[in-house]
């Protein structure tokens, strides 16, 4: 798994068709206000070895996220929690070893930031970790003088143009508000140095378009240049190697297109986005870096492409066993692509530069048996490095190879004691159609063939995301409670697509079969009690969980389904009548078919329509204000379970979205899940060692 950090990377531009709809099914939390009791987060050391690890310790926010160094290497900035469920911005002076902080006011958090130059930062505020309140700019020598630049939520920063980086003023922004009025601009370049006064617009929970327009009018003095939006529904923009606006996505009738900016005019590119995924801009004007089309029997390669002709160029990375799924790394001075990081079993770094390759080799030697990721570096070659393993969350270091020094920046989760965590093992399994996939298995302490463990099958959401080797708080929580956990990467998980025909990315029943095949492979080891197996998941994982107990009635003792989608015909109907003018519906119809004409197919892939086949208890949870997967999906599931006399429990939480975003609600959820699993699987826990005797 990636650590709780965002390495300095190129923006990844996967096939927008997937991200356009299946952001619906990513198991990402969208937190809102909570009435649950607050949890004390002042303790940052591990609990004593003779105490059970509290649920909160596995899920509480990291102390430090996304460290970034300025070009000069004088300061490191990061989002921090400082032992609270509230995010602030930290600025660390490398030479003086001093800290400064910028905090949100009241219920506001700082959730993201970016260096504008060596002395200036931009940062973004959100209320209740959900409602974006705009972008602020500040000089690190005058932290009390932060001022708003963009005061409404629907904007996305593309980059800081290199021609202006020394000034630290202009930014390129994409307007994503979707208001489509006559004054709407596709992309604007903003001057962040102007302090026009005023405060951030505390936009309400409703859609107050009038206040948004008024704020936009007030921000006009920040605008240096405007760029028109290309024809079609905007689906995103990205920049070239120098952070100049270069490319745009649009979508129409379920088909996406790529455009390049030439002389201030958008030109449509002859690039088939059904066959290639855009990873980023290349080293030359008009050049792309793409995940190339699939070739029979070969993993998909990372290659250059000419956006004007669609012609493929040099192969940058082609793994022997995995499609490329990752990001690019650019040199801080030349802005050339010097490396790429991608998922194999865990994160793997490939360097195209001898100097960077030597740095990686030297740094990796300092931290054996761990994943070592160069997160960021300054122009002098000093690095922010993240290290992590299956038993230890990310630890951030400041490495200066010239001075032969390595300094600890901070442990992201110092309350986790690696000695009490369990190893994550890779299990290779064969699918019923003959392909080899991978699953990750975490066994509780004391598991053996003489003492087999109960099992929780935990398929990921998405479905176009994946699990990786590394620290996983959820898996470690269940292992600490006596359960084995298996996390299968089923077909559709990035990295494995080269083995399958393209249509299998939408083959939901085959995904279910892969989960079943992984589970049965683990059962064959003799380490699992076959009579005590459960399945659970969130979002698309919840869909697979319910599919599991519908289609495999003798395999599971119970199921957990959180924030799921269970009726695909209803999902299609909901998409048909959205603000996107049927665009997502048209795309889904291309992939899944027309529910009006293929009712039998949609019935087969919608487990809520087959609750009469369920013979085991089901736990259902959902945030009542989920904007991604409607809570009506879970309410209808409850109704069907009641109709067919299926034992069930439920948790519906007011003020929560797609998952439990506030820690208090997450702890309540996992407390309920733990009690539910205990009732039906009865795990045997290995007791913690007794406390050491006092001298």
- 445-472 pLDDT tens trace: 999 999 999 999 999 998 888 999 999 9
Which helix (H) or strand (E) covers residue 135, if one does? strand 131-139
- Higher pLDDT pick, 183 / 132: 132
pLDDT on residue 582 = 60
- Higher pLDDT pick, 387 / 227: 387
Non-local CB neighbours of 637 within 8 Å, separated by 6+ positions = 546, 561, 564, 566, 608, 611, 618, 620
Number of domains, the chain: 2
CA atoms within 13 A on the CB side of 679: 16
- Is 648 part of any domain? yes
CA atoms within 13 A on the CB side of 673: 26
User: At 561, phi and psi to the nearest 5?
Assistant: -130, 115
Residue 574 pLDDT > 70, yes or no?
A: yes
Say if residue 532 is in the same domain as residue 594: no
Q: Is 72 helix (H, G, I), strand (E, B) or coil?
A: coil
Say if residue 592 is in the same domain as residue 541: no
- Is 581 part of any domain? yes
Residue 177 pLDDT > 70, yes or no?
A: no
CA distance 456 to 638: 22
What is the pLDDT averaged over residues 522-551?
97
pLDDT on residue 155 = 66
Lowest mean per-residue pLDDT among 217-231, 356-370, 586-600: 217-231
- Is 34 part of any domain? no
Lowest mean per-residue pLDDT among 71-75, 119-123, 202-206, 639-643: 202-206
Quote the distance between the C-alpha of residue 260 and its chain's center: 27
- Is 294 part of any domain? no
Handedness of CA 273, 276, 278, 283 (dihedral sign): negative
pLDDT on residue 586 = 78
For the chain, percent of residues with pLDDT exceeding 90: 58
pLDDT on residue 201 = 37
Say if residue 588 is in the same domain as residue 617: no
CA distance 375 to 61: 19
Non-local CB neighbours of 74 within 8 Å, separated by 6+ positions = 93, 94, 95, 118
Strand segments, DSSP code E, in 516-639 are 528-538, 558-562, 618-623
Q: What is the pLDDT of residues 71-121, one digit of tens each?
A: 999 999 999 986 677 889 999 999 999 999 998 766 778 888 999 999 999
- Higher pLDDT pick, 124 / 472: 472
| Of 384, 386, 536, 517, the residue nearest 460 (C-alpha) | 536
Residue 241 pLDDT > 60, yes or no?
A: yes
pLDDT on residue 251 = 84
Q: What is the CATH number of the domain that holds 628?
A: 3.40.50.1820
What is the pLDDT averaged over residues 131-139?
78
What is the pLDDT averaged over residues 591-611?
90
| Of 502, 643, 623, the residue nearest 562 (C-alpha) | 623
- Higher pLDDT pick, 149 / 619: 619
pLDDT on residue 37 = 58
Say if residue 646 is in the same domain as residue 599: no
What is the pLDDT averaged over residues 374-399?
94
Q: What is the pLDDT of residues 309-343, one digit of tens each?
A: 999 999 999 999 999 999 999 998 899 999 999 99
Say if residue 626 is in the same domain as residue 600: no
| Of 397, 424, 547, the residue nearest 487 (C-alpha) | 424
The gap between the terminal CA atoms of the chain, to the nearest Å, is 42
Say if residue 468 is in the same domain as residue 558: yes
DSSP assigned state of 24: G
CA distance 290 to 251: 19
What is the pLDDT averaged over residues 622-649?
91
Parallel, antiparallel, or unpaired for β 108-115 and 120-127?
antiparallel
pLDDT on residue 205 = 38
Residue 8 pLDDT > 80, yes or no?
A: no
CA distance 394 to 390: 10
- Is 644 part of any domain? yes
CA distance 100 to 121: 13
Which residue pairs from 414-417 have beta carbons closer than 8 angstroms and sit at least 24 positions apart in sequence?
A: 414/44, 414/45, 414/46, 414/63, 415/43, 415/44, 415/45, 415/46, 415/47, 415/57, 415/60, 416/46, 416/57, 416/392, 416/471, 417/46, 417/49
Handedness of CA 139, 144, 147, 153 (dihedral sign): positive
Say if residue 587 is in the same domain as residue 617: no
CA distance 243 to 300: 27
Residue 690 banded pLDDT, cuts 50, 70, 90: low
- Higher pLDDT pick, 567 / 305: 305
pLDDT on residue 208 = 40
Say if residue 508 is in the same domain as residue 522: yes
Question: Which residues are 234's β-sheet partners?
Answer: 250
- Is 426 part of any domain? yes
Say if residue 473 is in the same domain as residue 551: yes
Non-local CB neighbours of 679 within 8 Å, separated by 6+ positions = 617
> Rg of the chain's alpha carbons, rounded to an integer?
25
Strand segments, DSSP code E, in 151-273 are 155-159, 170-175, 187-191, 223-227, 233-239, 245-252, 255-262, 265-268
CA distance 222 to 212: 16
CA distance 561 to 652: 12
Lowest mean per-residue pLDDT among 172-181, 270-279, 505-514, 522-531: 172-181
Question: Which residues are 147's β-sheet partners?
Answer: 137
Mean pLDDT of the chain: 84
Residue 691 banded pLDDT, cuts 50, 70, 90: low
| Of 183, 191, 181, the residue nearest 150 (C-alpha) | 191
- Is 662 part of any domain? yes
* Contact between 180 and 132 (Cβ < 8 Å): no
Tell which phi-psi region holds residue 197, choosing left (phi > 0), alpha (psi between -120 and 50) or beta: left
pLDDT on residue 662 = 83
Residue 151 pLDDT > 60, yes or no?
A: yes
Handedness of CA 114, 116, 117, 123 (dihedral sign): negative
Range of the domain at 520: 422-567+608-681
b/e map 103-118, b = 16+ CB within 10 Å: ebeeebbbbbbbbbbb
- Is 370 part of any domain? no
* Contact between 84 and 90 (Cβ < 8 Å): no
Say if residue 526 is in the same domain as residue 450: yes
Residue 7 pLDDT > 60, yes or no?
A: no
The whole-model pTM stands at 0.88
- Higher pLDDT pick, 481 / 26: 481
Q: Is 40 helix (H, G, I), strand (E, B) or coil?
A: coil
Residue 414 pLDDT > 90, yes or no?
A: yes
Bond into 463 cis (ω within 30): yes
pLDDT on residue 268 = 96
Say if residue 440 is in the same domain as residue 534: yes
| Of 460, 522, 512, the residue nearest 487 (C-alpha) | 460
Q: Is 590 helix (H, G, I), strand (E, B) or coil?
A: helix
Say if residue 583 is in the same domain as residue 493: no
Find which of 457-466, 496-505, 553-562 is predicted with most confidence, using mean pLDDT.
Answer: 553-562
pLDDT on residue 693 = 53
* Contact between 407 and 395 (Cβ < 8 Å): no
DSSP assigned state of 446: T
């Amino acid at each position: 798994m990636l650590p709780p950090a965002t390495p300095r990377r190129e923006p990844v531009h996967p096939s927008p068709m997937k991200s356009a709809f299946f952001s619906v099914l990513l198991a990402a939390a969208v937190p809102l206000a909570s009435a649950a009791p607050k949890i004390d987060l002042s303790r940052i050391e591990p609990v004593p070895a003779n105490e059970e690890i509290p649920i909160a310790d596995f899920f509480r926010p990291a102390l430090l996220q996304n460290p970034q160094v300025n070009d000069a290497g004088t300061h490191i900035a990061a989002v921090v929690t400082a032992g609270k469920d509230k995010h602030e911005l930290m600025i660390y002076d490398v030479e003086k070893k001093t800290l400064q902080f910028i905090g949100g006011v009241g219920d506001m958090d700082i959730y993201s930031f970016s260096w504008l130059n060596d002395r200036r930062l931009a940062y973004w505020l959100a209320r209740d970790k959900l409602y974006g309140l705009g972008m602020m700019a500040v000089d690190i020598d005058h932290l009390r003088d932060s001022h708003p630049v963009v005061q409404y939520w629907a904007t996305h920063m593309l980059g800081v143009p290199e021609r202006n980086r020394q000034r630290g003023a202009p930014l390129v922004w994409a307007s994503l508000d979707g208001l489509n009025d006559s004054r709407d601009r596709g992309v604007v370049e903003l001057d962040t140095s102007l302090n026009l006064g005023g405060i951030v617009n505390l936009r309400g929970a409703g859609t107050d378009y009038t206040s948004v327009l008024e704020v936009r009018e007030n921000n006009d003095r920040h605008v240096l240049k405007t760029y028109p939006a290309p024809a079609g529904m905007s689906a995103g923009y990205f920049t070239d190697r120098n952070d100049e606006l270069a490319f745009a996505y649009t979508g129409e009738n379920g088909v996406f297109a790529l455009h390049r900016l030439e002389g201030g005019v958008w030109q449509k590119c002859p690039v088939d986005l059904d066959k290639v995924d855009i990873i980023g801009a290349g080293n030359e004007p008009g050049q792309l870096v793409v995940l190339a089309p699939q070739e029979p029997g070969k993993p998909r390669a990372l290659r250059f492409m000419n956006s004007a002709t669609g012609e493929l160029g040099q192969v940058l990375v082609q793994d022997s066993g995995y499609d490329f799924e990752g990001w690019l790394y650019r040199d801080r001075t030349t802005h050339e692509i010097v490396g790429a990081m991608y998922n194999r079993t865990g994160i793997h770094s490939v360097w195209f530069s001898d100097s960077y390759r030597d740095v990686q080799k030297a740094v990796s030697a300092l931290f054996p048996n761990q994943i070592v990721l160069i997160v960021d570096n300054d122009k002098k070659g000093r690095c922010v490095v993240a290290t992590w393993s299956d038993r230890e969350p990310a630890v951030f270091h400041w490495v200066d190879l010239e001075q032969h020094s390595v300094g600890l920046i901070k442990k992201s989760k110092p309350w986790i004691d690696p000695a009490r965590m369990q190893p994550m093992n890779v299990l290779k399994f064969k699918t019923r159609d003959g392909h080899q996939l991978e699953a990750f298995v975490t066994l509780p302490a004391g598991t053996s063939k003489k003492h087999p463990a109960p099992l929780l099958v935990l398929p990921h959401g998405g479905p176009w995301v994946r699990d990786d080797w590394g620290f996983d708080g959820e898996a470690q929580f269940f292992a600490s409670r006596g359960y084995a956990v298996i996390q299968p990467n089923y077909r559709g998980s990035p990295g494995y697509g080269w083995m399958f025909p393209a249509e299998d990315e939408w083959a939901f029943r085959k995904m279910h079969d892969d989960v079943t095949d992984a589970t049965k492979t683990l059962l064959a080891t003799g380490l699992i009690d076959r009579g005590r197996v459960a399945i659970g998941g969130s979002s698309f994982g919840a869909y697979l969980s319910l599919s599991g107990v519908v289609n495999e009635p003798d395999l599971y003792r119970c199921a957990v389904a959180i924030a799921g989608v269970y009726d695909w015909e209803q999902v299609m109907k909901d998409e048909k009548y959205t603000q996107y003018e049927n665009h997502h519906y048209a795309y889904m119809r291309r992939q899944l078919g027309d529910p009006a004409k293929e009712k039998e197919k949609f019935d087969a892939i919608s487990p809520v329509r087959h609750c009469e086949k369920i013979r085991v208890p089901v736990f259902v949870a959902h945030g009542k204000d989920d904007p991604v997967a409607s809570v009506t999906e879970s309410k209808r599931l409850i109704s069907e379970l009641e109709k067919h006399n299926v034992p069930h429990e439920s948790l519906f939480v007011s003020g929560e979205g797609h998952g439990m975003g506030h820690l208090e609600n997450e702890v309540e959820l996992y407390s309920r899940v733990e009690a539910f699993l205990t009732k039906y699987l009865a795990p045997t826990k290995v007791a913690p060692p007794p406390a050491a005797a006092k001298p």
